[in-house]
Amino acid sequence: MSPFLRFSFYGVAVSFYFFSAFISMSTPSPEKRIEQLRKEIAEHDERYYRNAAPTISDFEYDLLKSELQALESAHPEFSRENSPTKIVGDDRSRGFEKFSHRVPMQSLDNTYSEGEFLDFCARLAKEIPADKMRFLVEPKIDGVSVSYTYENGKFVRALTRGNGVEGDDISRHVVNIAGVPAELKPIDGKPLPKIVEIRGEIYMRTDEFLRINAEREAEGLEPFANPRNLTAGTIKSQNPEESARRRLDTFVYGLGACEPAGTFATLSELREMLHAWGFPLTDFCGNALGGDVAMAKIRELGELRKNYPFPTDGAVVKLDSLALQRKLGEKSNAPRWAIAFKYAPEQAETTLRAITLQIGRTGKITPVAELEPVEVAGTTVSRATLHNEDEIARKDLRVGDRVIVEKAGEIIPQVVRFVPEKRKPDAEIFSFEKELKKLGIDAERPLRLIDPAKPEKGTERAVAWYLKEKDTPELRVRRLIYFSGKSCMDIPNLGESVATQLVERGFVKTPADLYALTFEQALSLEKFKEKSAKNLLDGIEASRSRELWRLINGLGIPGIGEEYAKILAKKFRSLTALKNATEEQVFDALIKGENSKGSVLVANILAFFEKEQNRALCDAFVSAGLNTEITSTGTDEPAGTEQIFEGKIFVLTGTLPTLKRDDAKKMIEARGGKVSGSVSKKTSCVLAGEEAGSKLDKARELGVEVIDEAEFLRRIGESASAPAATENSDSGELLLF
């Protein structure tokens, strides 16, 4: 399709596309542009699928992809097998066991235009008689694709799409997902499939997303951008406690492998069976004979979805008959028998009245767009985050501009761009630095090391500005709220109002002062009576014995959240040891722990403990009698377990005589080792049980040490008796890994 045709199809995209064409005055050659686009899209894929942190909207992303698609069709000589238009995005992450899909998981072609949708139907019409063109039209759930495998009715595992061929095993999350049956029961006497892969989506309801974000904001943490990212972050989190606190849901809609083949003839039949087995299905599933009826259903769904409690970004239209699906077949990354019709995000135009600066817990300064209130997708929008200085520059936003606002995932408002033809000639380029000066804010944009492992690579500027002075009353309040939050010391009743009063009255400067708060002081707080004062003090008292990682998390070191706090606690085992750690030790803990973000974090940790007031804070925690030494790292291992597997990477395979997978893994990790899903040259040792398959062969081939359970237990000095079963140990999939 030529770019010209695209203009007439894309509705809202038209002016956006013109605008990007307009700013890139010197048009690169098709070959160069294809190269640029491939690189750019691959980077966005990495951020979207692997890091769950995209930097552009889905709509902008789809535009890049369709530009690339158009160029590749026009210039087949530059077509490549590995172009992002031909492969599925890869969500595989480190630390997850990988399993192959029996039938690969694909992506879907998409369109925003009715014309293109009808083109799709016309292509199908060439191969299918009109009276057989029966479609299902379903909501496209904006979540993370999943495949649930059942063998003889028993749940075996849940996998992410991964690279389409193999995915990450996320089975342990399934207990937290409402509606995934542990077992399928035969319905109406029909035998259960021997093997069935059921395809669907894991998603987060909008109200749950808003709840989690409200909680984060109350703790001074950055909110998540949209429910899809939060879903991906939650299922890929290595922190089961955190995941368990977040509600996830699922819908199922499709089939992968199924034995015996021919169990289902249509998707409608499949849906009925899935419903009978107890899986959650979307209420809306339109039956449509032919493209025009399907289009009408798409429009109908476009209205209905505005009131859905879950995020949708389009409609999926697919042929109902599995035989016809097979007849049409598939391309490398998407079937020919289905298409996603995506609804362009609702947008509105308004005026950017001002750009204000908001200061967070760590002193980070975030620019905010103050907008003339405008209605977008059902609510009035008057503010939107602008993320950072670079983002304002990238979009060249200026105060007084008319701007286009949309809601990312229909929830969080974003300023997309300014309207060039409405810009006033005297509109001034926004200067962050000038603004800071005008407000009398003393701030810096710190330099950070790109990679301490390779200092020759130099430094770069952090994207955000930070206050230089880190001890303003506002920051003290933010820190106190964060310190008392659920993911840190979990002190109930210490919210915004109490924290503000404690700071304003001079009772508390640093979180350590909380532990010297008197009953009289608590009683003097607004609306406090004896009972509430006692409750507050009891909460503070109880927090003295919280786990070390919570205290480390509560320090508020930039970039150190729950997950890293646990790594540090486990490694250093006392606050004082962490405080006095050398660069090398911190580096070892984070980088050798195969932590890709480690480099920036090492710099942050060292900078934190260099500051005298932070060192004093740690000492004050020790003096106040807090638990500053390890009692538990979440592995329930006793304190002081010798780190005999420090730096070693284990692979577990086969059925062990007495140990369960989770338990063996915990035992290794508690002793400083890591467990990986696949054997490579880096593997230190394979712990093998019965029926150990290809992993054992690979280990032998590479000359990696192989031990059995008895030897493993001998090394850790334990006898062969299984430890108490863990929470998830009977979740089904225990034997082969």
| 140 noted as active-site residue | yes
Phi, psi at residue 384, to the nearest 5°?
A: -155, 140
Ordered DSSP codes for 72-95: HHH-GGG--TTSTTTS------TT
DSSP, collapsed to helix, strand or coil, labels residue 330 as strand
Closest separation between CB of residue 404 and ligand IVH, Å?
25
Beta carbons of 482 and 556 less than 8 angstroms apart:
yes
Q: Match 């759930």 to its residue by tokens.
A: 141
In the bound state with ligand IVH, the residue whose beta carbon lies nearer, of 91 and 513, is 91
Residue nearest to ligand IVH (CB): 145
Separation between Cα atoms, residue 481 and residue 554, nearest integer Å: 10
Beta carbons of 413 and 430 less than 8 angstroms apart:
no
Closest separation between CB of residue 619 and ligand IVH, Å?
52
Separation between Cα atoms, residue 537 and residue 498, nearest integer Å: 12
Report the candidate in 375, 351, 402, 314 with the shortest Cα–Cα distance to residue 62.
Answer: 314
Q: Which helix (H) or strand (E) holds 533?
A: helix 530-543
Separation between Cα atoms, residue 198 and residue 264, nearest integer Å: 12
Please identify, among the stretches 71-79, 133-141, 258-266, 535-543, the one whose residues bind ligand IVH according to the rule CB under 6 A: 133-141
User: Contact with ligand IVH (CB under 6 A): which of 158, 340, 467, 688?
Assistant: 340
User: Contact with ligand IVH (CB under 6 A): which of 66, 69, 85, 106?
Assistant: 106
Q: Name which of residues 140 to 159 contact ligand IVH (CB under 6 A).
A: 140-141, 145
In the bound state with ligand IVH, the residue whose beta carbon lies nearer, of 140 and 566, is 140
User: Contact with ligand IVH (CB under 6 A): which of 72, 97, 116, 201?
Assistant: 201
In the bound state with ligand IVH, the residue whose beta carbon lies nearer, of 345 and 367, is 345
Q: Which two tokens stand for residue 155?
A: 């749940």
**Rule CB under 6 A: is residue 338 a binding residue for ligand IVH?**
yes
**Rule CB under 6 A: is residue 51 a binding residue for ligand IVH?**
no
Separation between Cα atoms, residue 148 and residue 169, nearest integer Å: 10
What is the DSSP-derived secondary structure letter of residue 295? H
Please identify, among the stretches 123-131, 134-142, 688-696, 724-732, the one whose residues bind ligand IVH according to the rule CB under 6 A: 134-142
First-to-final CA distance of the chain: 47
Please say whether the dihedral angle defined by the alpha carbons of residues 360, 365, 371 and 376, taken in this order, is positive or negative. negative
Q: Of 140, 297, 579, 674, which residue is the catalytic one?
A: 140
Counting residues that bind ligand IVH (by CB under 6 A) gives 15
User: Contact with ligand IVH (CB under 6 A): which of 9, 61, 253, 277?
Assistant: 253
Interaction pattern, residues 318-337, with ligand IVH; x per rule: CB under 6 A: x----------------x--
**Rule CB under 6 A: is residue 202 a binding residue for ligand IVH?**
no
Q: Match 């070892």 to its residue by tokens.
A: 588
Closest separation between CB of residue 334 and ligand IVH, Å?
6
**Residue type present at position 73:** S
Please identify, among the stretches 136-144, 453-461, 525-533, 543-551, the one whose residues bind ligand IVH according to the rule CB under 6 A: 136-144
Separation between Cα atoms, residue 64 and residue 48, nearest integer Å: 14
Please identify, among the stretches 57-65, 106-114, 229-237, 353-361, the one whose residues bind ligand IVH according to the rule CB under 6 A: 106-114
Report the candidate in 463, 456, 673 with the shortest Cα–Cα distance to residue 559.
Answer: 463
**Rule CB under 6 A: is residue 170 a binding residue for ligand IVH?**
no
Q: Which two tokens stand for residue 285?
A: 């599933």
In the bound state with ligand IVH, the residue whose beta carbon lies nearer, of 170 and 316, is 316
Closest separation between CB of residue 251 and ligand IVH, Å?
7
**Rule CB under 6 A: is residue 164 a binding residue for ligand IVH?**
no
Closest separation between CB of residue 360 and ligand IVH, Å?
34
Please report which residue ranges of 305-430 form alpha helices under DSSP H: 322-328, 389-395
Closest separation between CB of residue 338 and ligand IVH, Å?
5
Binding residues (CB under 6 A) for ligand IVH: these are 106-108, 138, 140-141, 145, 201, 253-254, 316, 318, 335, 338, 340
Q: Which residues are catalytic?
A: 140
